[in-house]
A and B are shown apart, each in its own frame.
Chain A
């Protein structure tokens, strides 16, 4: 320390900030893109939750005798091949497409996360077996694997959710396992087990809080991936089946209109793109403040 430093007035002691305090501090530092991303995600959540209140017409209601009507004041984005209101279907799509992707990601996390943490603290033979299975499942490109399984089980919402969840859980398994392993060798875990704590307590109270930031960031990225995979399957006609309003399926149904310069099919596609980009921006920002959560700087 240089002598001149001692002349400076002493800085106030910094107390450890609470989590909410850190999040607020992070929000203040957040860039424009982060705010944009957060607003978009909030908007989608509102659309999904209150779709019946917001949408002018029902999800599968045939409201016009004219199929493929152009954009007009009654039907803002026109009607589809059966005379259903396109705008209402896009709003309901937030509920179906995003909702199904969210459920799938949650199942994948419960499965992959639980097995990953278990694998990190269990005897090595079990760890080897689980890791071997995960590696094997990851050796086939996911979309191809999903296509094989869909050919066998047929396309229904439960089978899509389960297939995509299981295929994605392998990546989460890997991440949870490696980060839990890093924590499991620390002294405080040893202290806890010497103190006689049960395994479940150690997982929930010691390991989980330490790997949570990594897992939350992964949840965002994984959700994007799941969402894009299910949309791609729906677009191929193998995903969510009509009459449920789904963005991937809607693109597929109206795709030929592109050739006439009509941008209606791009609306559901853009809805997908906007959400995934927004989530990516927010995850970027979250990783930034998550490092603050750890270092407490």
Chain B
């Protein structure tokens, strides 16, 4: 039994892919860490300003642990990162330590909330539109959807954001133009506030997801068994729901995972436009003030979720490939 699992190409491919994913994760953490350790530029001096004496610089470096050897610092950093401790921000004063975790933590929750709501809104719409476009291929509806999605993919996010803000918050005062949320707000109020960011993010992600769903379904509809069902006289909606869709879930789930990875990046600009206190905005602020530990912490979170979601998409695609499931 055990031997069978090992020799099964399906499991072998999945394990290889998982292994590769974790190697990538390790390498990426090395790259992000190396950003501070290897490259030139004395951040202690840059942070403390020109007036810093050698003693204050040494003290500052010691308080941040910058005087230890590189390998030791990496192990400490990655070990801490796994348990949620990402070190001290450069913005911490001598007597008032500010951990990266305390800066990022609440914002990460906000970002996950925004991304989660967007996914809930965007995924059903995108799948529905994708399936409709695939069924009505080359119809006027398909062409309009194709043109609209092509345009929305090529628009910069801040353009979409400001157009929506102008139309739906200023000209027609339906939504709040800025998504300022505080922890004391109830969830209904928060939902009202983040309506426009969700709409902006959905706009881009629906376009991507719809096009990929359409392509996946069209690929599926060219199979002989679909032709057979049609020739038997099965009505079109039944061909889609009963014959095509069960086999389409695999590519569709892969499409969803891939687009959630895409959502992670889209969140940065949208958070800045709507002044939403999320991790993307925290990262941009940290880059501006060159607060490297915060940049590293945010980058690690972004990169890790990106890699894991892509890994998930790959594993799902492999696991549902019938050619691998039934070895000869």
* Interface, chain A (partner B; CB < 8 A): 135-136, 139-145, 147-152, 154, 224, 228, 231-232, 235-238, 248, 251, 255, 258-261, 263, 265-266, 269-270, 272-273, 276-277, 279-280
Contact = CB atoms under 8 A, between A and B. Distances in A.
Given A143-B265, A147-B295, A266 B151 contact: no
A130 to B, nearest CB: 15
Contacts of B166: 258, 261, 263, 266
B287 A238 contact: yes
28 contacts: A139-B24, A139-B303, A140-B302, A140-B303, A141-B302, A141-B306, A143-B268, A144-B268, A147-B284, A151-B290, A152-B35, A152-B41, A224-B154, A232-B156, A232-B157, A232-B268, A235-B156, A238-B284, A238-B287, A258-B162, A258-B170, A258-B177, A259-B177, A260-B170, A265-B162, A272-B159, A273-B155, A279-B154
Interface string B169-184: 1110000010000000
B30 to A, nearest CB: 9
B221 interface: no
B162 A255 contact: yes
B163 interface: yes
B27 interface: yes
B31 interface: yes
Interface of B: 24, 27-28, 31-32, 35-36, 39, 41, 150-151, 153-159, 162-163, 165-166, 169-171, 177, 261, 264-265, 268-269, 272-273, 283-284, 286-288, 290, 292, 295-296, 298-299, 302-303, 306-307
A248 B27 CA distance: 33
A57 to B, nearest CB: 25
Contact of A270 (B159, B287, B290, B295): B159
Closest 4 CB pairs of A and B: A269-B159, A276-B154, A151-B287, A141-B265
A260 B177 CA distance: 11
Nearest to A259: B177
A248 B156 CA distance: 10
A248 B157 CA distance: 11
A228 B154 CA distance: 8
A273 B156 contact: yes
Given A152-B39, A258-B170, A260-B170, A136 B28 contact: yes
Contacts of A261: 166, 170-171
Contacts of B24: 135-136, 139
Contact of A236 (B27, B269, B303): B269
Contact of B165 (A141, A147, A149, A258): A258
Contacts of B36: 152
A145 B157 CA distance: 18
A139 B28 contact: yes
The winner among B156, B170, B290, B295 for most chain A CB atoms within 10 A is B156
Given A269-B159, A270-B159, 19 more contacts: A139-B27, A139-B307, A140-B32, A140-B299, A140-B302, A141-B265, A144-B302, A147-B268, A147-B287, A148-B287, A151-B287, A152-B39, A231-B156, A258-B162, A259-B165, A259-B169, A266-B159, A272-B156, A277-B150
A279 B153 CA distance: 12
A156 to B, nearest CB: 14
Nearest to B41: A152
A246 to B, nearest CB: 13
Contacts of B151: 273, 277
Given A136-B31, A232-B269, A147 B283 contact: yes
Nearest to A275: B154
A111 B286 CA distance: 31
A235 B158 contact: yes
Nearest to B305: A141
A191 B56 CA distance: 70
B299 to A, nearest CB: 5
A140 B283 CA distance: 15
Contacts of A141: 261, 264-265, 302-303, 306
A140 B273 CA distance: 23
B287 A150 contact: yes
Nearest to B303: A140
B156 A228 contact: yes
A141 B298 CA distance: 12
A279 B151 CA distance: 11
A238 B280 CA distance: 14
A146 B165 CA distance: 27
A174 B163 CA distance: 36
Nearest to B264: A141
A148 B169 CA distance: 34
Contact of A144 (B158, B265, B272, B292): B265
Contacts of B39: 152
